[in-house]
Amino acid sequence: MSKPFKILRDLMVRGRYEKILSNSISKLIINNISKKNIKILDYGSGVEPTVLRMVRHELSKNSIKATSHGYDLYNDIQLEQLNNKEEDEAYFNVKNLDSNNEIYDVAVISDVLHHVGINKTEFIKDILLSIKKRSKFLIIKDHFQYGYISNQMIRLMDFFGNLNSNIKTPKKYYSNKEFDILINSLNFSIKSKILNNRYHPKIFFLFNNPKYHFIYLLE
């Protein structure tokens, strides 16, 4: 990736996007969990778990001490590197989630489900049920598409955001109706929603329409 292109991507994604997303997740936690010491499960935490670190920092400014456990398809080298970074976090291979008896106050799944594949309905249900058994609250950040054009715009945004990684661009994203059907089928209740966050500068409106993003707090 060329340096100017990387700077542009980081301007769109790693700076403004992560700040707005972490602030939104933090507000949901602060407004719905009264505890001063909480444990967070981060499903699909990735090799650069910046958002959850920013969330913990935001919570600390509100006198909330948070520890987080990140789960992903890590190899041994990645686990060694991640687990030597900060004392309030720990990382595990996602294959170990079912054998972990930890109980969490909130679980976060940010921009993960569409990469699993929205057509893998039963697999996604199993993931969500497994996570929900370990946490009272579940925060899901993902995308809504409204037809062919918006789906392609989100695909382009996703491709751009994950460029130079091994993450494949999905072919399809949830519609609002499809996602609500999924949630209702699991008997989860929607406690709060954050819609229409403007994660990127207005100049990128065509590719990053605020209505393409949603955050649900489920109970």
pLDDT, tens digit, 9 for 90 and up, residues 4-17 = 656 665 665 567 88
Strand partners, 116: none
pLDDT, tens digit, 9 for 90 and up, residues 116-145 = 999 999 999 999 999 999 999 999 999 999
pLDDT, tens digit, 9 for 90 and up, residues 146-192 = 999 999 999 988 887 777 677 889 999 999 999 999 999 999 999 99
Domains of the chain, each with CATH number or no CATH:
3-218 (3.40.50.150)
pLDDT at site 13: 57
Query: CA 71, CA 73: separation in Å to the nearest integer?
Result: 7
**Can you give the pTM of this predicted structure?**
0.92
Share the mean pLDDT of the chain.
Answer: 91
pLDDT at site 8: 62
CA distances from 94 to 44, 64, 130, 140, 175 (A): 8, 26, 12, 17, 27
Per-range mean pLDDT, top range of 28-32, 49-53, 164-168: 28-32
pLDDT at site 85: 82
Mean pLDDT over 107-120 rounds to 96
pLDDT at site 130: 95
Mean pLDDT over 18-47 rounds to 96
With vertex at residue 56, the alpha carbon angle to CA 65 and CA 59, rounded to the nearest 5 degrees, is 65
Does residue 94 register a pLDDT over 70?
A: yes
Does residue 70 register a pLDDT over 80?
A: yes
